[in-house]
Chain A
Amino acid sequence: MSSPTEAPEREVDVLRAAMEQLEFVLPSGWEVGTWDDEADARLDAVACLTGPNNSGRTLVIEAKRLVQTRDVPTELDRLARRADEAGIEEPLLTLVARYLSASTRTKIEALGGNYLDATGNIRIASDKPALYIRVSGADRDPWRGPGRPRGGLRGAPAARVVRALIDFAPPYSVPDLIERSGASTGATYRVVEFLEQEDLIQREERGPITDVAWRQLLERWSQDYGLDRAQAVRRYLEPRGIDVALDRLRECDPSEYVITGSVAAHLDAPYAPARLLAIYLEDLSLAEGALELRPVSQGTNVMVAANKDDFAFCRSRVVDGLNYAAPSQVAVDLLSLPGRSPSEGEELLNWMERNEDAWRR
């Protein structure tokens, strides 16, 4: 298989390189249609795979520079959920990366997923119309140099840096950003480097950060972070509804909890009445303690997440006796929550665009 010589750095380049590899091996009578990377804001790309007699299937694609084996189940689950939300029938769930290790490929295949990488590792399996492609590309990441930093925006340090980049209007130096975010020097430089590669921030050569494409940055962050991926998430029921739970929160110290999701979004961008209360807690035992919430498996109306590193609490505000997360945190959490929450997240992002002075420092 041919291997590109230059490392595809941006995810859009990874996607392009991997699709070229697929086109190269497709049997005659098959073609892969123009891929649309804006089909749905929460899907990286959607491509039509068309076979003889114009029968076809849709590839629903998540493209990343790197995919870790341990993340495969979550990534495939998310892809399935999002394909379902986008109304795509019988999607071929496909993970795309610059390079996929043998163990990652095995894992994807075991879970019935498909993959493509820029070195030519390909597995596409469709029963109807029948197509099976399994091609080996590189066995080692040809672009991985010694000590090369890992990309992506996973984890609390990245979250702190991203939150600060969104919440504070540039220009500022990287040392300023380190101070404002509270993240380590190493983590801050790693994130800044990654975001420069992704073209989401502009920085003068060895100088200050001059521009942040904050909305795109937030949407990119939501691929790696969301309330549903916080350290520990538990679901509860307050039988008399979320207003009763809010009254109990008023009795708590604001440093113990912060409200996110629909309820917090309503402060700035009112939508339909909130039916789910999402909160971060310093200490999860508060849920069944002072908040008197009941753990149930179905019909929950309160979602509780642990936030040990506290970044969700950064720049929160107390309104009417309740502690609310900053809009940037609320928006990223909404984008990851089920049902109509992503639409509420978009609505909040629209409000944030129209009212930058109101929330950006």
Chain B
Amino acid sequence: MPGDAELLIAARSALLDALDALKAHAANIVVIGAQAIHLRTNDIDLALAPLTKDADVAVDSRGLSGDPRVEDALSAAGFYPDPDNQQPGAWCSPSGLPVDVMVPEALAGPSASQRRGARLPPHANSSMRRAEGLEAVVIDRSPLSITALDANDSRVMTASVAGHAGLIVAKLHKFGERIGDPGRLKDKDAHDVYRLFVALPAPELAGVFRRLLDHDVSAAATEKALDYLRRDFTRADAVGATRAGRAEQGVGDPAQVREAVAAMATQLLATTVG
């Protein structure tokens, strides 16, 4: 569909705008979300194409400089707080596309109930949003070259992009936390888990998961993600596997997706936590 293709081009452009705006903090910025999934899995051929309509970045606050402040850097580049989303860290690119700036909960400063903004002075409380489950993406990440998809845009930037395992942990939190809230539970999120599993051979994936379980920053979030994985994905009739399959209804093979994600999830658990 041309609409999806245009959205993909525009979202990539907004991501490059954000990376450029935050270049003073480049070492602390990690590309996450749909853009990262697209970059990590674009070479595999599945019935369902990845949909990329947002541009999300995570901030690794360890060693984050106070200068420039995140809100100043973004504003100077023409970004503005998203008028349709009052949450901290919800920005719009100069061309009006949403860009979320998020900090893993464990690295977001003192927490309090109902507190949604990161507490990382001198940066403004509203500049970055705290998010559960992003701890693994700041540990499992590596640089990738990111190119614009618009033929008239020649930008190429190298940025840190979340790895498969980090993205799986983040997706499992997002999916797992929404169980019981059917309106927000998305087939697409479950299918992304399947997509990320397919894209990396089992031994490599297990190796990264073991590393995440060993690291102070990511251990707790990873353990929780594996609990979600065990609960929602290790049987073909479990809710996560079912949702992943349903995403391919009419375009692919739902039964195959259900069985495959259950097999890969079971194997990962067997080779990481035993």
Q: Mark A195-239, 1 if CB is under 8 A from B, else 0.
A: 000000000000000000000000000000000000000000101
Q: Mark B253-267, 1 if CB is under 8 A from A, else 0.
A: 111111111011001
Contact stretch, chosen from A34-42, A53-61, A297-305: A297-305
For residue B236, CB closer than 8 A to chain A, the reply is: yes
Bound complex: CA A294 to CA B236 (Å): 14
Instruction: Given A239-B264, A273-B45, A275-B253, check contact A299 B198 (CB 8 Å).
Output: no
Instruction: Given A294-B263, A299-B260, check contact A239 B198 (CB 8 Å).
Output: yes
For residue A290, CB closer than 8 A to chain B, the reply is: no
| The residue from A241, A275, A294, A301 contacting B44, defined by CB atoms under 8 A apart | A241
For A294, the chain B residues whose CB sits under 8 A away are: 259, 263
Among A239, A241, A244, the one with the most B-chain Cβ atoms within 10 Å of its Cβ is: A239
Which residue of chain B has the shortest Cβ distance to A244 in the bound complex? B201
Q: Determine chain A's interface SS by DSSP, over half rule.
A: loop
Q: Is the CB of B198 within 8 A of A241?
A: yes
* Contact count A vs B, C-beta below 8 Å: 46
Instruction: Given A237-B263, A240-B264, check contact A301 B256 (CB 8 Å).
Output: yes
Q: Is the CB of B198 within 8 A of A240?
A: yes
For residue A296, CB closer than 8 A to chain B, the reply is: yes
Q: Is the CB of A237 within 8 A of B44?
A: no
Interface residues of B in 4-20 (CB under 8 A from A): none
Q: Mark A262-305, 1 if CB is under 8 A from B, else 0.
A: 00000000000101000000000000000000101011110000
Q: Determine chain B's interface SS by DSSP, over half rule.
A: helix
| The residue from B197, B201, B259, B267 contacting A237, defined by CB atoms under 8 A apart | B259
Q: Mark B156-198, 1 if CB is under 8 A from A, else 0.
A: 0000000000000000000000000000000000000000011
Bound complex: CA A275 to CA B251 (Å): 12
Q: Mark B192-222, 1 if CB is under 8 A from A, else 0.
A: 0000011001100000000000000000000
For the complex formed, measure the closest distance between the CB of B207 and the CB atoms of chain A, giving whole angstroms: 16
For B254, the chain A residues whose CB sits under 8 A away are: 299
For B253, the chain A residues whose CB sits under 8 A away are: 275, 299, 301
Among B257, B260, B261, the one with the most A-chain Cβ atoms within 10 Å of its Cβ is: B260
For B201, the chain A residues whose CB sits under 8 A away are: 240, 244
For A241, the chain B residues whose CB sits under 8 A away are: 44-45, 198
Which residue of chain B has the shortest Cβ distance to A239 in the bound complex? B260
Bound complex: CA A294 to CA B45 (Å): 21
For A301, the chain B residues whose CB sits under 8 A away are: 253, 256
Bound complex: CA A241 to CA B257 (Å): 10
Q: Is the CB of B44 within 8 A of A298?
A: no
| The residue from B45, B256, B257 contacting A300, defined by CB atoms under 8 A apart | B256
Bound complex: CA A194 to CA B198 (Å): 50
Bound complex: CA A296 to CA B263 (Å): 10
* Pairs A-B, 3 closest by C-beta atoms: A299-B256, A299-B255, A239-B260
**Given A237-B256, A299-B254, A299-B260, 11 other A-B contacts at CB below 8 A?**
A237-B263, A239-B260, A240-B201, A240-B260, A241-B198, A298-B258, A299-B236, A299-B255, A299-B258, A300-B256, A301-B256
Q: Which residues of B contact A (CB under 8 A)?
A: 44-45, 197-198, 201-202, 236, 253-261, 263-264, 267
Q: List 10 A-B contacts (CB under 8 A).
A: A237-B263, A239-B259, A239-B263, A241-B45, A294-B263, A296-B259, A298-B256, A299-B257, A299-B260, A301-B256
